[in-house]
Structure 1
């Protein structure tokens, strides 16, 4: 018996109820809003050029939406696995569900299954994996393959093959951060596409390795210095991992969010006083990815603890324009006052808790301190359905989506738990597998 087979059995035996479906619909709304809200960006233009909207290629449709969903850095995040499951699982499931004209219930159940596979493999990858490998990209193909396997009714053996061949396509290195390159969007695009390909091929009898995770030349040996294989099947009675996933309120790396949350809480209290020094105590993964004193472009600024906290303390808000050239120039002096370091207690609680310790000293001798165990949007501090709909409207507006179309999309997504057809989302006209031109 392989870990992959055990994982598939765990997922397929797991009970689901209406509340689970309602939660899944909210994550679908969040992901689609993030995707469509990115339509006016340069990476979106390039994705469209190589994955044209009119394509009838289902894997390539998943590729397009997978890349699009991650551009704004506002898509969801599962803390324990350090993955963004929505931008990989939902595009894959959506492409197939729309192609096959499936109902909302089957689609949402597949989304639940895909999140479960992605997150459980991610939790098993261990902490050291994330230092070199982008876990969403490496673990995501397991999730997209599992979602599609359920949608197209693969047998257990076929599903094992699908996850085996999804895992052999795992890839995605952090090197792009050194120059602010666009690779991260390719990571999620390929992770979504890889899972679709793996499951569609398995349906035709294309075999894959049973022991892709624990085998002598498998995923753990190749990519994970400190794997936790038992995490793949631990706690089968837990709620669905989707319900343990966080929604992002701010358009930047989730590792910066606890510090943003803390800084925003101090903004009014400081009352415009001149700041002398800011100290952030973070977990090691945040330092590995987000210790950037001088970000040179919008994307690296989104991965800069110093910049994000400077924006929060100075402006009392962190929005898309907080990372553009003028904002980076304006905030340079404030950013230079921010020091980051490891906080032992915060690091010990990671990844179950993504926290921060924040201290601000002003020129008039005052000192302000605060800490966060959980940031806004975490399951312990969740956004409400109303707040999520408000986020969706704002993000969609940024993408040039009109108010009427935005309201129609929100209503259509929230009707999915009542088994409304996936095609009612109007994202795949004429059975072609590309987003509706009306969203352009």
Structure 2
């Protein structure tokens, strides 16, 4: 292959974008916005304005209320989408592209007063780059590196380069600059930190900087991926460059999954399996529950005794017990009241985990789990989920995605305003100005919940 991997990647971005692609992108923009608006009610959101200290007034919307210049909007908004673990995800790449790409594109498009089509085309382009790079980086990279931040930096750079109208050679430069700044280590999940939000904020802003720097004429390393001192050599034990050079088909945004429940995606197959059995057994009949799943699900979500809302959302035991006890998992199930609930705690301690080597072998192409419930009388009920709800093989409908968004937005906006934001997102493919969508998201009288989520929410 002639040229560098980034040159090959950029060349693949020139294919047409169809109306159906933009419709799909508008759902991802809405999904990110709703997740961010709900995340803005959480205590961690109070730290993010410190990143934009000294920012100027501007036309770019802050989902927590008000407006600012593009730099401030990127930094503050891009820390909010992952707070409640309801963000979109590409399972093969193990990257949450919306967390970095959407807020960066929204701010830059608002600042330039661009139409909705421009925003959506940039989002589609950015998702393509982040996903292809995540697929190339592989699970060896994901073991230590927060792929959403590392690959998200590259994806954001490509998206902003599209908004800025950069020539292909300048986009290659932008990806080179992005590689110089791509970062984010998984130690943040081993300790009680707010660093994950900083990582996505930094990745989004770094992508914007990379594109603007390239647009000014600054040359970047073209072999930032495959070079002897490049991204693969430094961070990827078993890179798969063929994921970048493979023939292109439909835009990869169509492969991205939506999350129906507020929990780590590795937990979702087990939640769905529990829901499949819930109506067949009463909680008092359950003697034991066994979850068999892939290795990374255990590495991320084996938490038998969660003590914080964040830990609850990363606990297979807690979420499976909640699904068996109450039905679909909601934000209320990670509230302090739920963590202290004796009935939920007792059931949680009956949930055992085990690795299923066959499921590990199919991961990350499949996020799957098997669940077995042993009744007090010794009989056993089983269920298996091979593709979690929201995956391409088990999709949420557009109406379900909009209903999810409406519910999350209603915590920050009036029901009427939440409906208006949903409608505004649907109008983006038809040319609604991005500023109009941004204004629909603003929650200038946002209530604080002091870290608690109402069980009735």
- TM-score interval, smaller chain: over 0.9
For 1:273 and 1:266, the matched residues in 2 are separated by 14
Alpha-carbon spacing, 1:435–1:209, altered in 2? closer, same or farther (3 Å): farther
Runs of 5+ consecutive residues of structure 1 not aligned to the other structure? 429-433
Paired residues of 2:291 and 2:371 also in contact (CA < 8 A): yes
Q: Does 1:86 align with 2:98?
A: yes
The aligned residue for residue 145 of structure 1 is 157
The aligned residue for residue 350 of structure 1 is 363
Q: 1:393-412 counterparts in 2 under 5 A?
A: 393-398=406-411, 400-412=412-424
Q: Alpha-carbon deviation of 1:231?
A: 0.7
Q: Alpha-carbon deviation of 1:112?
A: 0.4
Deviations 1:266-319 (A, max 9, x none): 111113343211111111111121112222211112111111111111221211
Q: Does 1:386 align with 2:399?
A: yes
Match of 1:298 among 309, 312, 315: 309
Q: Secondary structure at the match of 1:19?
A: helix
Match of 1:75 among 74, 87, 108: 87
Match of 2:168 among 148, 156, 161: 156
Q: Secondary structure at the match of 1:437?
A: coil
For 2:359 and 2:389, the matched residues in 1 are separated by 17
Q: 1:197-346 counterparts in 2 under 5 A?
A: 197-237=209-249, 239-330=250-341, 331-346=344-359
Deviations 1:143-162 (A, max 9, x none): 11010000101112211111
The aligned residue for residue 192 of structure 1 is 204
For 2:381 and 2:442, the matched residues in 1 are separated by 48
Q: Alpha-carbon deviation of 1:15?
A: 2.4
Q: 1:367-378 counterparts in 2 under 5 A?
A: 367-378=380-391
Q: Alpha-carbon deviation of 1:38?
A: 1.8
Single out whichever of 47-56 and 248-257 deviates more from structure 2: 47-56
Single out whichever of 368-377 and 319-328 deviates more from structure 2: 319-328
Paired residues of 1:426 and 1:436 also in contact (CA < 8 A): no
Paired residues of 2:110 and 2:438 also in contact (CA < 8 A): no
The aligned residue for residue 20 of structure 2 is 19
Q: Alpha-carbon deviation of 1:72?
A: 1.4
Paired residues of 1:60 and 1:193 also in contact (CA < 8 A): no
Q: Alpha-carbon deviation of 1:60?
A: 3.1
Q: Alpha-carbon deviation of 1:390?
A: 0.9
Alpha-carbon spacing, 1:161–1:56, altered in 2? closer, same or farther (3 Å): farther
Q: Secondary structure at the match of 2:364?
A: coil
Paired residues of 2:413 and 2:443 also in contact (CA < 8 A): no
For 2:336 and 2:192, the matched residues in 1 are separated by 14
Deviations 1:96-117 (A, max 9, x none): 1111111111111111000000
Paired residues of 2:173 and 2:218 also in contact (CA < 8 A): yes
Paired residues of 1:110 and 1:147 also in contact (CA < 8 A): yes
Q: Alpha-carbon deviation of 1:373?
A: 0.7
TM-score normalised by L of structure 2: 0.91
TM-score normalised by L of structure 1: 0.94
RMSD of aligned alpha carbons: 1.7
Match of 1:134 among 137, 146, 159: 146
For 2:180 and 2:375, the matched residues in 1 are separated by 53
For 2:321 and 2:67, the matched residues in 1 are separated by 43
Paired residues of 1:59 and 1:194 also in contact (CA < 8 A): no
Q: Alpha-carbon deviation of 1:49?
A: 4.3
Deviations 1:350-409 (A, max 9, x none): 1111111111112122211010111111111111111111111111122x2111211111
Q: Alpha-carbon deviation of 1:205?
A: 1.5
Match of 2:11 among 9, 12, 23: 9
For 1:306 and 1:173, the matched residues in 2 are separated by 25
Runs of 5+ consecutive residues of structure 2 not aligned to the other structure? 54-61, 448-457
For 1:18 and 1:423, the matched residues in 2 are separated by 21
For 1:71 and 1:367, the matched residues in 2 are separated by 37
Paired residues of 1:121 and 1:139 also in contact (CA < 8 A): yes
Q: Alpha-carbon deviation of 1:28?
A: 0.8
The aligned residue for residue 31 of structure 1 is 32
For 1:235 and 1:352, the matched residues in 2 are separated by 18
Match of 2:124 among 91, 99, 112: 112
The aligned residue for residue 451 of structure 2 is none
* Count of aligned pairs between the two proteins: 432
For 2:367 and 2:248, the matched residues in 1 are separated by 23
For 2:184 and 2:276, the matched residues in 1 are separated by 35
The aligned residue for residue 167 of structure 1 is 179
For 2:414 and 2:46, the matched residues in 1 are separated by 19
